[in-house]
């Protein structure tokens, strides 16, 4: 065995699993970037506070939400949409911090999507018991662009279905540091998050935080 081969044998490639066509799970992809990623999320939340959104049907979502990027995802009685300014402050959303932008681009590139350039990053914070019902993400302009999801804090069970609300779903456990890239046929699949179970993460405490990077416009 050459030195190079020995090095490859010890440096396992980052685990990649395609759990549905076009849906790639990158376990632990955050890795050594953890501290920079958490600092970036803290900075975003300081500038654009987490808030409870209301669905067009008038229900309060159980997650609290904010955004960074050229536009941010907003929901109220008037509908779901992306807006350039944070309605809570009237200010432009904070820019996507470099550490987060690099993480999302590197994850997309790792599964063969090197052109991904996010312009919106949605931050969802789940307290214990918070959940997200099965839904599709259809508010973006170009469904050929993937979505990159980063899980932090408490673990959760992600539910992933097909093109119709009914039908079988697979359950994928997601833990701190996992990244999922949803492209190709998975992009318009129904998905959701089961209620987050009680627990305490060493850094984030009793919360799960999910970042979703999108090309909205």
Where on the chain is the footprint of ligand MD3 (CB under 6 A)? 122, 124, 132, 137, 147, 149, 180, 182, 186-187, 189, 191, 193, 210, 212
CB of 192 to Fe ion, least distance (A): 8
**CB nearer to Fe ion: pick between 119 and 137:** 137
Q: CB under 5 to 8 A by kind: which of Fe ion, ligand MD3, none does 147 bind?
A: ligand MD3
**CB nearer to ligand MD3: pick between 47 and 136:** 136
CB of 107 to ligand MD3, least distance (A): 12
Sign of the dihedral through C-alpha 47, 53, 143, 216: negative
| Residue with the shortest CB distance to ligand MD3 | 210
DSSP reduced 3-state for 211: strand
- Which residues share a beta bridge with 212? 122, 149
Q: Is 98 exposed, middle or buried (CB count within 10 Å of its CB: 0-12, 13-18, 19+)? A: exposed
- From residue 178, give the alpha-carbon distance in Å to each of 122, 171, 216: 16, 15, 23
- From residue 141, give the alpha-carbon distance in Å to each of 121, 138, 214: 15, 8, 10
Report the 10 Å Cβ neighbour count for 163.
Answer: 11
CB of 156 to ligand MD3, least distance (A): 7
CB of 61 to Fe ion, least distance (A): 12
Do the Cβ atoms of 193 and 185 come closer than 8 Å?
no
**CB nearer to ligand MD3: pick between 15 and 185:** 185
Type and span of the H or E element at 212: strand 207-214
CB of 63 to Fe ion, least distance (A): 11
**CB nearer to ligand MD3: pick between 2 and 28:** 28
Q: CB under 5 to 8 A by kind: which of ligand MD3, Fe ion, none does 105 bind?
A: none
**CB nearer to Fe ion: pick between 101 and 137:** 137
Q: CB under 5 to 8 A by kind: which of Fe ion, ligand MD3, none does 149 bind?
A: ligand MD3
CB of 118 to ligand MD3, least distance (A): 12
DSSP reduced 3-state for 54: strand
**Interface residue list for Fe ion (CB under 5 A):** 137
DSSP reduced 3-state for 8: helix
Q: CB under 5 to 8 A by kind: which of ligand MD3, Fe ion, none does 150 bind?
A: none
| Residue with the shortest CB distance to Fe ion | 137
Question: CA–CA separation, 43 vs 58, rounded Å?
Answer: 30
């Amino acid at each position: 065995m050459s030195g190079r081969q020995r090095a490859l044998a010890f440096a396992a490639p980052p685990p990649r699993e395609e759990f549905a066509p076009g849906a790639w799970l990158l376990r632990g992809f955050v890795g050594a970037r953890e501290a920079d990623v958490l600092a970036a999320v803290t900075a975003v939340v300081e500038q654009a506070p987490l808030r409870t959104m209301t669905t067009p049907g008038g229900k309060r979502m159980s997650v609290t939400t904010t955004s960074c990027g050229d536009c941010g995802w907003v929901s109220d009685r008037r509908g779901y949409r992306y807006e350039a300014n944070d309605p809570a402050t009237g200010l432009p959303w904070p820019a996507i911090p470099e550490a987060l932008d690099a993480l999302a681009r590197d994850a997309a590139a790792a599964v063969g999507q090197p052109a991904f350039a996010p312009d919106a990053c949605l931050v969802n914070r789940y307290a214990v018991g918070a959940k997200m019902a099965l839904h599709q993400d259809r508010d973006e302009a170009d469904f050929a662009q993937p979505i990159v999801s980063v899980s932090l804090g408490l673990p959760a069970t992600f539910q992933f279905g097909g093109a119709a609300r009914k039908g079988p779903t697979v359950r994928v456990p997601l833990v701190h540091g996992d990244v999922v890239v949803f492209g190709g046929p998975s992009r318009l699949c129904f998905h959701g998050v089961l209620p987050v179970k009680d627990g305490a993460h060493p850094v984030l405490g009793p919360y799960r935080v999910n970042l979703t990077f999108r090309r909205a416009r």
